[in-house]
Amino acid sequence: MPRTLIRNASIVLPGDGLRSASGEVRIGNVLLGEGRILDVDASDTASCDDAIDASGLHLLPGVIDDQVHFREPGLTHKEDLSTASHACAAGGVTSFLEMPNTKPPAITIEGVRAKERLAAEKSLVNFGFYIGATPDNVAELAKATDVPGIKIFIGSSTGNLLVDEQEALERIFGETTLPICSHCEDETTVRANTERYRGTNDIADHSRIRDEKAAMIATERATDLARRHKHRFHVLHVSTAAELVYLADPSPYLTAEVCPHHLFFNVDDYARLGSRIQMNPSIKSSADNAGLWQALLDDVVQVIATDHAPHTLDEKAQPYPNSPSGLPAVENSLALMLNQAHHGKVNVVQIAHWMSDAPARVWGMTAKGRIAEGYDADLVLVDLNESRTIRDAEQHTKNRWSPWDGETLTGWPVRTYVGGHQVWSIDAGFDESARGTKPTFDHSRGGYWATTDGIGV
């Protein structure tokens, strides 16, 4: 494979692994070859086939989005692995982990392998697929290997993916070994609230139906299971500040994440954006926005992911409650955070921790998530001074819309590398011949809290 020398970049280097702000930025040269980072302190004259002058640009580890719904197989009128991976590449996302609620759902090992084969044919970036839990597939979950983890829907879902009975949950936590993640909304509470608001067409009632209580009950229930069974568990898309009480005490078994829509939108935005911000868990209050931001800054929450879940605009335009929950975000998530760095709320070291290093360690993705010798050359060059406006028509996701349509952000990706290969640049566009690969998932490393030095080869 050709060697690439990235010269004069502001390189975002990892810190101690637990404090998100503990890394550093250093100007230097990075040499790529054989799909790996060969040298993070290369000389200007290092032997290479291609040299890139990155003066004025920052080099970050590629984003790992550990929660996406790319809709293939079965729902490809909304999205597919090709269109979604193009959106990833343009957004600086070099690896994604996809959820099991496709049609058919990935609830067997062979179902996961079938999705891996599809991605190997279509995806420009790296890929992994969770296996989904049902009330009666514990034996299959116990046999699963070389996948990121198990996904449980403790709360409303489609088909037979809802797992709400305590006995089934106890078996899953007690009889399997893969790390588990969950959608946490209490089904009993959601159903009671749905009955209370029966007949409503007010989109704002979505946040009253899927309220703080529903999130708190389910998150308390799941974190209790994790602690009792001493089983690694990742709380997906935390939406309320109240849930943070279950995460505040450090535990070797618990990690959590937050999504951009829960950081940036709240119930006051329904009047402006309507069903474009209809999500499960629902958008909450401005106080919850503030609490979730503080949890990131305090390292109570470790990961930022998108829950990219596109629907067509025609589907979203149906009157509530017929409008589906979900929004696209993978191609804008990094820029949204870089814009926050531009305004001084966070810095690029923290962004690299939350969006790259932490998810790699949570899911045991070896040689991912850091700029360090021997790690995979999954990288993104960003221009912190470039301003662009998000436009629906310019989105690469299949449905070509964004809830951030019309917003101008400062700080954007300009080149994305997967395995040392440039898969996208602002000037050249996409390399349609590029294909990502499946990472190695090594759960014997112990997850986030046991890999403070990163998860190397």
Catalytic residues, by residue number, are 307
Pick from 424, 422, 432, 455: nearest CA to 1? 422
Structure tokens at 26: 């250093």
Report the 10 Å Cβ neighbour count for 80. 18
CA 1/CA 420 separation, integer angstroms: 9
DSSP 248-295: SS--TTEEEEE-HHHHH--GGGHHHHGGGG--SSPP--HHHHHHHHHH
Structure tokens at 267: 């119930």
Helix (H) or strand (E) holding 304: strand 303-304
Which DSSP letter does residue 403 get?
A: T
Amino acid present at 103 = K
Q: Tell me if 51 sits within 8 A of 5, measured CB to CB.
A: yes
Structure tokens at 120: 């190997």
Structure tokens at 58: 């920052």
Residue 308's DSSP bridge partners are 68
Pick from 357, 380, 267, 231: nearest CA to 304? 357
Report the 10 Å Cβ neighbour count for 285. 15
Amino acid present at 114 = A
C-alpha distances out from residue 78 to 73, 102, 333, 408, Å: 11, 11, 19, 26
